[in-house]
Amino acid sequence: MSDFVDGFWSLYVAGLTLISIIACAVLLTMQHKRPVAGQKVDTTGHQWDEDLAEYNNPLPKWWMWLFWITIVFGLVYLALYPGLGTFQGVLKWSSTGQYQAEQTSADAKFGPVFQKYAAMEIPAIAMDPQGKAMGERMFLTYCSQCHGSDARGAKGFPNLADGDWLWGGAPETILASILDGRNGVMPPMGAAVGGPEGVREVANYVLSLSGATHDAKLAEAGKGKFAACAACHGPEAKGNPALGAPNLTDKVWLHGGSLASISEQIDKGRNNVMPAHKDFLGPERSRILAAYVWSLSQPGAGAK
């Protein structure tokens, strides 16, 4: 309702809502009339199987009272809570206000716990059983939808447990990724490497870098054209964490390692976004989450 730019629409919604409720009450009143004893009751005109007719009798009392209770409930609700245009209701309730109140209550309850870990180094948090358990619960709540409950990712979503990092796996780097998010962009390179044939050659060369099955002749032809890719991936194709450019020699593929998948990436490019969690989680909780993520690729981290 806050999006209304003209007071007319607020009145329109409020009026339409109240008129609808009043109309229901009028209809119930009309249906409340009982026929005079002994008077013949008319049918509605509907008839089935020759003699099965629908009589125009009033609604049952219990059914009618349910309708009246619903109407009264609706009026009371609309008086107390938002629902009539821009009218906020007597209680001044809003979803935003309730969320902020819950956040304030949670901060008061859990703030001291988070503050304890705010002063600790990320590896130290990962070695703390309680800190690691808190981080795991956060991961399952906020991260598992993309990276999986086991953090091993899926196509297009990195595996966080294998020690292979696009942007670097240092504790503070992981924290920066959680706080500020990441935007990995690979531009379309089809034209730069010479069109469809050049794409096929470079794709075979990329496959050869990790020892995958490839066409040696095409790979040799694509080696020189790979220079267009070296600005990001490096002359040895080892990647560049500063740009989020992956290592192409380690057999770890984010979007698939087949000839078709690699060719598509070269030709059309990629644009991957990890959303920032800074405003949602805050620095303290993000630090605990970063400790858990860091521990996933560290054998023995968090052991009691």
Helix (H, G, I), strand (E, B) or coil at 43: strand
Q: Quick: pLDDT tens for 246-266.
A: 999 999 999 999 999 999 999
Q: Residue for token digits 């194709």?
A: 237
301: nearest Cα among 154, 115, 174: 174
Give the pLDDT confidence score for residue 225 in this predicted structure.
Answer: 96
Main-chain dihedrals φ then ψ at residue 252, nearest 5 degrees:
-105, 120
CB atoms within 10 A of CB 78: 17
| pLDDT band at residue 304 under the 50/70/90 scheme | very low
Between CA 208 and CA 269 the distance in angstroms is 20
Give the pLDDT confidence score for residue 35 in this predicted structure.
Answer: 61
139: nearest Cα among 121, 126, 156, 127: 126
Give the pLDDT confidence score for residue 39 in this predicted structure.
Answer: 65
For 92-109, the DSSP string reads ---HHHHHHHHHHHHHHH
pLDDT-above-70 percentage for the chain: 94
**What is this structure's pTM?**
0.71
Asked whether residue 5 carries a pLDDT value surpassing 70, the answer given is: no
SS (H, E, C) 135-195: HHHHHHHHCHHHHCCCCCCECCECCCCCCCCCCCCCHHHHHHHHHHCEEEEECCCCCCCCH
Question: 300: which strand partners?
Answer: none
Give the pLDDT confidence score for residue 49 in this predicted structure.
Answer: 79
List, in order of start, the domains of the chain with CATH numbers. Answer: 1-32+43-93 (no CATH), 102-181+275-296 (1.10.760.10), 185-274 (1.10.760.10)
Give the pLDDT confidence score for residue 147 in this predicted structure.
Answer: 96
141 class by beta-carbon count within 10 Å (0-12 exposed, 13-18 middle, 19+ buried): exposed
| pLDDT band at residue 303 under the 50/70/90 scheme | very low
Tell me, what amino acid is at 217? K
Between CA 75 and CA 134 the distance in angstroms is 44
How many helices (H) and strands (E) the chain has is answered by 12, 4
Between CA 189 and CA 218 the distance in angstroms is 17
Asked whether residue 2 carries a pLDDT value surpassing 60, the answer given is: no
8 Å CB contact between 31 and 59: yes
Asked whether residue 128 carries a pLDDT value surpassing 90, the answer given is: yes
58: nearest Cα among 79, 21, 32: 32
What letter does residue 255 receive in the DSSP assignment? Answer: S
Q: Which two tokens stand for residue 40?
A: 């013949």
Asked whether residue 231 carries a pLDDT value surpassing 90, the answer given is: yes
Q: Quick: pLDDT tens for 31-89.
A: 776 665 666 767 777 778 777 887 777 778 888 899 999 999 999 999 999 999 888 99
Q: What is the mean pLDDT of residues 87-94?
A: 92
Q: Which two tokens stand for residue 97?
A: 């206000």
Q: Quick: pLDDT tens for 158-192.
A: 999 998 999 999 999 999 999 999 999 999 999 99
8 Å CB contact between 41 and 55: yes
Q: What is the mean pLDDT of residues 185-211?
A: 96
The mean of the pLDDT values for the chain is: 90
Give the pLDDT confidence score for residue 112 in this predicted structure.
Answer: 87
Q: How many CA atoms lie within 13 A of 276 on its CB side?
A: 8
Between CA 194 and CA 202 the distance in angstroms is 10
Q: What is the mean pLDDT of residues 121-148?
A: 95
- Spell out the residues 6+ positions from residue 230 whose beta carbon is closer than 8 angstroms to its own: 237
